[in-house]
Amino acid sequence: MTPSTPVSVPAIEFVNVQKRFSSKAGNVTAVQNINTQIQSGEVVSIIGPSGCGKSTLLNMGSGLAAPTSGEVFVAGERVMGPNAHVAFMLQKDLLMPWRTIAQNVEFGLEIRGVAAKEREIISTQLLAQCHLKGFEAHYPHQLSGGMRQRAALARTLAIDPIVLLMDEPFSALDAQTKMILQQDLATTIHAQNKTVLFITHDLAEAVTLSDRILVMSERPGTIVNEIIVELPARHDPLQRRKHPEMNHYVALLMDLLKLDANKELH
């Protein structure tokens, strides 16, 4: 008898997910009919119009919000609340100003009861990877915006999540700093084989960082297109930006978003 091939369990999966919100003005359906899988080690970006439910998806993936109907799974386990296997990184770094950078990075490990020496080893290693060696004893107010986001990335990776959720983490940065941090992120997640679900309004950022790009419709948001990015060197966004096909992908995404908006007008 031939042994069966093991079935790969998605790192994160949305199954028939819908989310409605109630208010005095009535019920609003934020997202509906969301069915998608993200495999281990993939980087998948979500783009779409403002208000289409992108952040709502991440909130459900992290367990901060529950679907009205449908299910979300992380590593095959249904998400029933805040999940220790998921880490969230936002536009704001949310570093605690009274803690040093190293202490900020170690915070999640401290909550989990990891011994001080092990916390120090992990934070030192991650801060070096994020080009913050020598700044361990500094406080957040002593760092630039880009350095603070590097520290936030190190803190996010410190808990060794299965899935990393990122909601426009670089949108507040200037163009040059953003490209440098995109490079740092891509190199780090490639080295650690992390799974990432990434929200962005920057189409070039989506192409340079991603294996796949999900395009969402206007609210109620649903996934209307999936683009596979067939460019080399996902771990090197700066090289991807120079690739002759880069502009083709950006133009394609622009057309898809425009076409979707036209549908809504008719």
Q: pLDDT tier at 27 (50, 70, 90 boundaries)?
A: confident
Statement: residue 35 has pLDDT above 70: yes
pLDDT at residue 264, rounded to an integer: 47
Name the token pair of 146. Answer: 């880009």
Statement: residue 50 has pLDDT above 90: no
Q: Let me know: does 199 contact 46? Beta carbons within 8 Å.
A: yes
Q: Let me know: does 214 contact 46? Beta carbons within 8 Å.
A: yes
Give the pLDDT confidence of 51-110 residue by residue, as tens digits. 899 999 999 999 999 999 999 999 999 999 888 899 988 888 889 999 999 999 999 899
Share of the chain above pLDDT 70, in %: 94
Cα–Cα distances (Å) from 202 to 123, 170, 206, 251, 255, in that order, read 30, 10, 6, 12, 14
Distance of CA 206 to the CA centre of its chain: 11
Give the pLDDT confidence of 136-149 residue by residue, as tens digits. 999 999 999 889 98
Give the pLDDT confidence of 159-197 residue by residue, as tens digits. 889 999 999 988 888 888 888 889 888 988 888 899 999
Statement: residue 260 has pLDDT above 60: no
Statement: residue 227 has pLDDT above 70: yes
The interaxial angle of helices 145-158 and 116-129, nearest 10 deg, is: 130
Phi, then psi, of 111 in degrees rounded to 5 = -60, -35
Q: Let me know: does 48 contact 57? Beta carbons within 8 Å.
A: no
Instruction: Tell me the three state secondary structure of residue 34.
Output: strand
First to last CA, the chain: 58
Q: Let me know: does 189 contact 166? Beta carbons within 8 Å.
A: no
d(Cα 169, Cα 202) in Å, to the nearest integer? Answer: 11
Q: Let me know: does 21 contact 27? Beta carbons within 8 Å.
A: yes
Q: Let me know: does 57 contact 222? Beta carbons within 8 Å.
A: no
In sequence order, the β-bridge partners of residue 216 are 223
What is the total residue count of the chain? 266
Statement: residue 4 has pLDDT above 50: no
Q: pLDDT tier at 7 (50, 70, 90 boundaries)?
A: low
Q: Where are the domains of the chain?
A: 93-160
Statement: residue 24 has pLDDT above 80: no
Give the pLDDT confidence of 235-252 residue by residue, as tens digits. 888 899 999 999 999 999
pTM: predicted TM-score of the whole model, two decimal places: 0.88
Mean pLDDT of the chain: 89
d(Cα 34, Cα 55) in Å, to the nearest integer? Answer: 13
Q: Let me know: does 48 contact 2? Beta carbons within 8 Å.
A: no
